[in-house]
Structure 1
């Protein structure tokens, strides 16, 4: 790749940042843009395991270990979750809890901490909202932003989330499909006694479910005073789901709080206590759960491709969203590093990446959908109970 050529990444979420670090490590010129200012909330936590063996060998040596994004990093405790039946309150199992360095280890990462690690030594151009791109006959892609500026490159990667504007142009207006689930979410600081109950037989928190609703309650930080910050997300579905989602988007914090208490009234006491202690002041604006299922195994010919939720947004019921996004970034990054070194054409590199990753990621999206639809609470582990470490 000539010095004047570069990869343009739209979106500085988890997948876009990982790709940027891999390209930086490999000496491939890139630019990364994001519409936000770098401080906007992008969610609480991500759980990483399936992607780690691909990720670590590709990272630059001048950034922190991603494991430092875990609330348990300082204590050396292994990350993992326990699973509870919301109806019977039965304990169903523990995911992994393998020690760090073990092939089956997990990183339960505070998303904000994780992004800050992957922002190190990268110049992100914030406040740049993608408007459109144009492909020239010479293979150069010009990207235009809503502020009237533009940039040129040889490859365009749309890593701009489940509502990707790059994808909409590339696939003639394609949009992600809304799920039937409504989300309610909150955060709360708890004392040591309640923290111990929430952690149970794990170090990171719990997953709990019954028919038509699922939730997680995860530790985000352990504070010096002995308290701990937890986040929880409840996703539920009702027959008139469009009406329910419209209600949630405009409901007051007080109304969301009352709904959460109502939906969890039959759950274990420590979960009811956690929701109650959250109060209206701890409630967040619900987010829309979207699914992206690409039907074809290749994108249109050219030097534009997709990454992360732009390719495969999914329901958060198996802990596979970030895993899949980062694995895709590793595959795309390594394909570019190896392919360009060998003189393979950009078009061929991108098509090979897509033919491998679109069907794989589509399968994960559908498995996450099935976990949401099923009554088997073990599905929430994504197979980790059966395949976990010691």
Structure 2
């Protein structure tokens, strides 16, 4: 291995995944994060890790940490249902075939607590992650190294610098100053309903068993459940010896990162149908607006929204496609270059995809199999193609969810309904088959 030191700016999902993967391969790496401490910010809602993100985490994490992630995550459920606002099923996709093996990263999804995921990604990196480091700028030196400068007057020098510093990336601003952002004409509202004996007594099984998309005459609602596969104490006991062998405290990593189980809901609507200043509201005023929009929906959906907490209202933006730039010893990944609306968790999974590809590139450079700048150029070409294709998908899905075009919404509902009623059409149009199941059974409360 050739000496290679990697400086990563930003300790989010992508930056930490890259650091874990490089550490496992013996490549020197250091991460610089502007947050003052690991728990400076709340981690918000769960993240749906699909096969793209799961493969990256499986490849980059030590096996014991991968097993902790799988055990502490929730099962995303069998398939995804498309329904109308009265909870009448239009089509159910992806629930056929044998149950997926959660340990197989290619064939399952994971409803991951961001709190637990952050702990897992930081595990074993205590000496490599430096907090309270606000990045200001970088300088490419005559000897081929790159130096990062921080607000506290300190600096860090490496052979390559990676910008993993999010949507307001200062690395991107310097590397690709022509990169721009576009506003999406949609607003999203999200909330959590905690799973307690009281809520389980009235919640329909349909909301607890899988992800759901509700396609009413206006707006769009998505629901997903987060219930851990295993109790954290059981995970700590079962995997404790493996974690201790890595020098990690099982209790601190697993048991102390408990995140209560809940149902996430997210509503999307056209920006011009919300009152001015809506995204600045907090608490009950958000529910007043949303409650009025769904007053004719199924009672269980109205109660799901009304009883929720940890509410959040946001506008959506996306990175505009950018042409190739001259490759150098500085590059970017994830939201730092191709941020997108948080629809379907595509942004986080794409950042993990970037991190895994860049990990492989830098390992090849360290092994003398690739020249550094040429390797980064190949990475950037693939990253731009994959990343901005995903941005287009996320923007299209967001705009479709928020559209006020009544004819378009009706056509979509009729299409889903036809796919649900005609298996050959469903297979041809959507690539799924499914058994016929009485939808009324899924509306029965549990508990």
Identify the residue that residue 376 of structure 2 maps to in structure 1.
350
SS in 1 for 2:136: strand
Alpha-carbon deviation of 1:111?
1.8
Q: Which moved more, 1:100-109 or 1:333-342?
A: 100-109
> Could you report, residue by residue, the CA deviation over 1:239-265 in whole angstroms, capped at 9, with x for unpaired residues?
377x74xx1343242211211212232
SS in 1 for 2:263: strand
- Cα pair distance change 1:339/1:90, threshold 3 Å: farther
Identify the residue that residue 15 of structure 1 maps to in structure 2.
14
Task: Determine which of 257, 266, 285 is the counterpart of 1:255.
Answer: 285
> Could you report, residue by residue, the CA deviation over 1:154-195 in whole angstroms, capped at 9, with x for unpaired residues?
111111112222111211263432322222222232445754
- Cα pair distance change 1:274/1:263, threshold 3 Å: same
Tell me, in whole angstroms, the C-alpha distance in 1 between the residues paired with 2:81 and 2:141.
Answer: 53
Instruction: Point out the structure with the larger helix share.
Output: 2
Tell me, in whole angstroms, the C-alpha distance in 1 between the residues paired with 2:267 and 2:211.
Answer: 14
Tell me, in whole angstroms, the C-alpha distance in 1 between the residues paired with 2:25 and 2:433.
Answer: 33
- Cα pair distance change 1:157/1:136, threshold 3 Å: same
Identify the residue that residue 133 of structure 1 maps to in structure 2.
138
Identify the residue that residue 117 of structure 2 maps to in structure 1.
114
Identify the residue that residue 284 of structure 1 maps to in structure 2.
311
Identify the residue that residue 59 of structure 1 maps to in structure 2.
61
SS in 2 for 1:284: strand
Tell me, in whole angstroms, the C-alpha distance in 2 between the residues paired with 1:302 and 1:145.
Answer: 21
Confirm or deny: 8 A CA contact 1:79 1:98 kept in the other structure.
no
Confirm or deny: 8 A CA contact 1:104 1:388 kept in the other structure.
no
Task: Determine which of 162, 165, 177 is the counterpart of 1:160.
Answer: 165
- Cα pair distance change 1:386/1:288, threshold 3 Å: same
Matched, 1:299 2:299: no
Confirm or deny: 8 A CA contact 1:84 1:206 kept in the other structure.
yes
Alpha-carbon deviation of 1:221?
4.3
Tell me, in whole angstroms, the C-alpha distance in 2 between the residues paired with 1:388 and 1:16.
Answer: 38
SS in 2 for 1:133: strand
Tell me, in whole angstroms, the C-alpha distance in 2 between the residues paired with 1:149 and 1:71.
Answer: 41
Paired residues, number = 371
Q: RMSD of the alignment, in Å?
A: 3.1
Confirm or deny: 8 A CA contact 2:21 2:59 kept in the other structure.
no
- Segments of 5+ residues of structure 1 without an aligned counterpart are 73-77
Matched, 1:274 2:304: yes
Tell me, in whole angstroms, the C-alpha distance in 1 between the residues paired with 2:381 and 2:16.
Answer: 23
Confirm or deny: 8 A CA contact 1:199 1:205 kept in the other structure.
no
Confirm or deny: 8 A CA contact 1:98 1:388 kept in the other structure.
no
Identify the residue that residue 30 of structure 1 maps to in structure 2.
29
- Cα pair distance change 1:240/1:277, threshold 3 Å: closer
SS in 2 for 1:342: coil
Identify the residue that residue 335 of structure 1 maps to in structure 2.
361
- Cα pair distance change 1:57/1:249, threshold 3 Å: closer
- Cα pair distance change 1:305/1:179, threshold 3 Å: same
- Cα pair distance change 1:161/1:107, threshold 3 Å: same
- Cα pair distance change 1:86/1:42, threshold 3 Å: farther
Identify the residue that residue 48 of structure 1 maps to in structure 2.
49
Give the structure-1-normalised TM-score: 0.84
Confirm or deny: 8 A CA contact 2:343 2:394 kept in the other structure.
yes
Tell me, in whole angstroms, the C-alpha distance in 1 between the residues paired with 2:16 and 2:23.
Answer: 10
Alpha-carbon deviation of 1:2?
5.2
- Cα pair distance change 1:197/1:42, threshold 3 Å: same
Alignment of 1:207-222 (within 5 A): 207-210=213-216, 213-221=219-227
Tell me, in whole angstroms, the C-alpha distance in 1 between the residues paired with 2:296 and 2:132.
Answer: 45
SS in 2 for 1:177: strand
The structure with more radius of gyration:
2
Alpha-carbon deviation of 1:387?
5.7
SS in 2 for 1:256: helix
Identify the residue that residue 75 of structure 1 maps to in structure 2.
none
Identify the residue that residue 424 of structure 2 maps to in structure 1.
none
Confirm or deny: 8 A CA contact 1:104 1:389 kept in the other structure.
no
Identify the residue that residue 171 of structure 1 maps to in structure 2.
176
Alpha-carbon deviation of 1:285?
4.3
Confirm or deny: 8 A CA contact 1:71 1:221 kept in the other structure.
yes
Identify the residue that residue 82 of structure 2 maps to in structure 1.
84
Matched, 1:239 2:272: yes
